[in-house]
Amino acid sequence: MHELAIAESIVELAAEHAARDGFRQVRRIHLAIGALSHVDPRALEFGFAAVASGTVADGATLVIDRPPGVARCLACQVDVPIAAYGDPCPGCGGAELMAVGGAELRVIDLEVV
């Protein structure tokens, strides 16, 4: 479950910022987890609750945005929505697609006290 390692990284990031910026508690962590990122948001939330216990992020709420998958069809030269890698172009049915959105995994911001 790589979501646990991701959760640990998020907690470490929060702790680093707390030490640097002098806040004592994280209330909310806003994330972007793209539909193509291969990250299960529910598994991440579960892992986060476990690894955040006793840290500056203990009790923090995860707010997760799910940007959709977007790929550039190399045949059509247009951006098209995709649900998963390997999906064909919905316009031409072609298989030559390059992901251009929806693979991100990033912390957008922290709400702290």
pTM: 0.90
Instruction: Report the SS3 class of residue 16.
Output: helix
Tokens matching residue 37: 């990122």
> What ranges do the domains of the chain cover?
2-112
CATH 1.10.10.10 for domain 2-112: no
**What confidence tens digit (pLDDT) does each residue in 56-73 have?**
999 999 999 999 999 999
Q: How many CB atoms lie within 10 A of CB 83?
A: 11
Q: What percent of the chain has pLDDT over 90?
A: 99
Mean pLDDT (the chain, rounded): 97
Nearest to 65 by CA among 104, 10, 92: 104
Distance CA 88, CA 72 (A): 11
Q: What percent of the chain has pLDDT over 70?
A: 99
Instruction: Report the SS3 class of residue 90.
Output: coil
